[in-house]
Structure 1
Amino acid sequence: MIAKLFAKYQSIGLITLSLLAGAIMTFIALPVLTRLYSVADFGAYGIALAIVSVLSTVANLRLDQALLVAEDQDKKSLIFEGTVFSTVIAVMSGIVISLILNVEMACAVATGVLANTLLQSVYSYQFAAHKEYFCAGLNIFRSAIVVAVQLSLPFVMQISLVNSYNVSSILMIVAMLLYILKYQLYQVSWHAFKNYQDFIYANTPHALLNSFSHNLPYYVVSHFVGVQAMGFYTIVERTLRVPINLISQTLRQFFIRKFKDADSSQNALKASVLLSLVSLPLFALVFVLPESVYLWIFGSEWVGISTYFQILALGYWAVFCNPPSSAYLIAKRNSQVLFKLQIVELIIKFALFAGLYVLCADKIYMLLAVPVALIIYNFAILYVVWRNKS
Structure 2
Amino acid sequence: MIAKLFARYQSIGLITLSLLVGAIITFIALPVLTRLYSVADFGAYGIALAIVSVLSTVANLRLDQALLVAEEQDKKSLIFEGTVFSTAIAVMGGIVISFILNVEMAFAVATGVLANTLIQSLYNYQFSAHKEYFCAGLNIFRSAIVVAVQLSLPLVMQISLVNSYNLSSIIMIVAVLIYLMKHQLYQVSWQAFKHYKDFIYSNTPHALLNSFSHNLPYYVVSHFVGVQAMGFYAIVERTLRVPINLISQTLRQFFIRKFKDADSSQNALKASVLLSLVSLPLFALVFVLPESLYLWAFGSEWVGISAYFQILALGYWAIFCNPPSSAYLIAKRNSQVLFKLQIVELLIKFALFAGFYVAFADQVYMLLAVPVALIFYNFAILYVVWRNKN
TM (norm. structure 1) is 0.99
Separation in structure 1 between the aligned mates of residue 374 and residue 45 of structure 2, nearest angstrom: 24
Mapping 1:124-135, distance limit 5 Å: 124-135=124-135
Deviations 1:93-148 (A, max 9, x none): 01000011100000000000000000000000000000000000000000000000
- Residue of structure 1 in register with 2:299 after alignment: 299
Mapped contact 1:75–1:125 kept (Cα < 8 A): yes
CA contact (8 A) 2:245 2:320 kept: no
**Do 1:81 and 1:190's aligned partners in 2 also have CA atoms closer than 8 Å?**
yes
Matches of 2:314 and 2:121 in 1, distance apart?
Answer: 33
- Aligned-residue offset at 1:249: 2.5
Q: Is the 8 A contact 1:60 1:85 kept in 2?
A: yes
Give the superposition deviation at 1:318.
1.2
Cα distance in 1 for residues equivalent to 2:304 and 2:160: 24
Q: Give per-residue Cα distances to partners, 1:210-243, cap 9 Å, x unaligned.
A: 0000000000000000001100110012111144
Structure 2 distance, partners of 1:27, 1:206, is 31
SS, match of residue 189 in structure 2: coil
Q: Report if aligned partners of 1:111, 1:170 keep a CA contact under 8 Å in 2.
A: yes
Contact conserved, 1:69 with 1:257, CA < 8 A, in 2? yes
Q: 1:238 to 1:66 in 2, by over 3 A?
A: same
Q: Distance in 2 between matches of 1:7 and 1:314?
A: 32
- Could you tell me how far apart the structure 1 residues matched to 2:249 and 2:24 are? 16
Deviations 1:150-169 (A, max 9, x none): 00000010000000000000
Question: Are the aligned partners of 2:353 and 2:366 in contact in 1 as well (CA < 8 Å)?
Answer: yes
Measure how far apart 1:316 and its partner are: 1.4
State whether residues 315 and 372 of structure 1, in contact with CA within 8 Å, keep that contact through their aligned partners in structure 2. Answer: yes
The 1-side partners of 2:201 and 2:238 are apart by: 30
Moved over 3 A (4+): none
Question: For 1:134 and 1:73, how far apart are their aligned partners in 2?
Answer: 21
- Secondary structure of 1:57's counterpart equals helix
Q: Secondary structure at the match of 1:190?
A: coil
Bigger mean CA offset, 312-321 vs 199-208: 312-321
Cα distance in 2, alignment partners of residues 123 and 310 from structure 1: 33
Number of residue pairs the alignment of both structures matches: 390
Shift of 1:315: 1.9
- 1:317: Cα distance to partner? 0.9
Structure 1 pair 316/246, CA: closer, same or farther in 2 (3 Å)? same
State whether residues 15 and 136 of structure 1, in contact with CA within 8 Å, keep that contact through their aligned partners in structure 2.
Answer: yes
Q: Distance in 1 between matches of 2:165 and 2:320?
A: 28
The one-character-per-residue Cα deviations of 1:170-210 (angstroms, maximum 9, x if unpaired) are 00000000001000111111111011000000000000000
Match of residue 62 from structure 1 = 62
Three-state SS of the structure 2 residue aligned to 1:329 is helix
**How much does 1:61 deviate?**
0.1
User: Are the counterparts in 1 of residues 87 and 114 from structure 2 also a CA contact under 8 Å?
Assistant: yes
Select between 242-251 and 52-61 the one with higher mean Cα deviation. Answer: 242-251
CA distance in 1, matches of 2:323, 2:57: 16
Q: Secondary structure of the equivalent of 2:130?
A: coil
Structure 1 unpaired stretches of 5+: none
Q: Deviations over 1:3-53 (max 9, x none)?
A: 111110100000000010000000110000000000000000000000000
Q: Is the 8 A contact 1:247 1:323 kept in 2?
A: no
TM-superposed CA distance for 1:332, in Å, is 0.3
- Aligned equivalents of 2:343 and 2:374: distance in 1? 13
Distance in 2 of aligned mates of 1:132 and 1:178: 20
Verify the 8 A CA contact 2:245 2:319 in the aligned structure 1: no
Q: Is the 8 A contact 2:65 2:124 kept in 1?
A: yes
Q: Which moved more, 1:22-31 or 1:310-319?
A: 310-319
State the 1:2 CA deviation.
Answer: 1.5
Report the 3-state secondary structure (helix = DSSP H, G, I; strand = E; otherwise coil) of the residue aligned with 2:389: coil
Greater mean deviation of Cα atoms: 246-255 or 34-43: 246-255
Q: Shift of residue 320 of structure 1? A: 1.9
Matched, 1:386 2:386: yes
Q: Distance in 2 between matches of 1:116 and 1:20?
A: 19
Give the alignment's Cα RMSD to 1 decimal. 0.6
* Displacement of 1:245: 2.3
Aligned to 2:52: 52
State TM-score, norm by structure 2. Answer: 0.99
Q: In 2, are the aligned partners of 1:321 and 1:382 still within 8 Å (CA)?
A: no
- Classify the secondary structure of the residue corresponding to 1:187: coil
Check whether the contact 2:19–2:247 (CA below 8 A) recurs between aligned residues: no
Structure 2 spans left out of the alignment, 5+ residues:
none
Deviation per residue, 1:231-270 (Å, 9 max, x gap): 0110012111144124333111000000000000000000
SS at match of 1:65: helix
Residues 145 and 168 in structure 1, CA contact (< 8 A), matched pair in contact too:
yes
Contact 2:217 2:370 in 1 (8 A): yes
Provide the C-alpha distance between the structure 1 equivalents of 2:346 and 2:132, rounded to a whole number of angstroms.
Answer: 35
Q: Does residue 249 of structure 1 match 2:244?
A: no
Cα distance in 1 for partners of 2:165, 2:21 equals 20
Report the 3-state secondary structure (helix = DSSP H, G, I; strand = E; otherwise coil) of the residue aligned with 1:61.
Answer: coil
Kindly state the Cα deviation for residue 298 of structure 1 after the two structures are TM-superposed.
0.4
Distance 2:2 2:269 in 1: 24
Question: Which digits, 9 at most, give the CA deviation of each residue in 1:324-354, with x for residues without a partner?
Answer: 0000000000010000000000000000001
Kindly indicate whether the alpha-carbon contact (under 8 Å) linking 1:20 and 1:246 is maintained by their aligned counterparts in 2: no
C-alpha deviation, 1:314, in angstroms: 2.4
Contact 1:45 1:162 in 2 (8 A): yes
Aligned to 1:148: 148
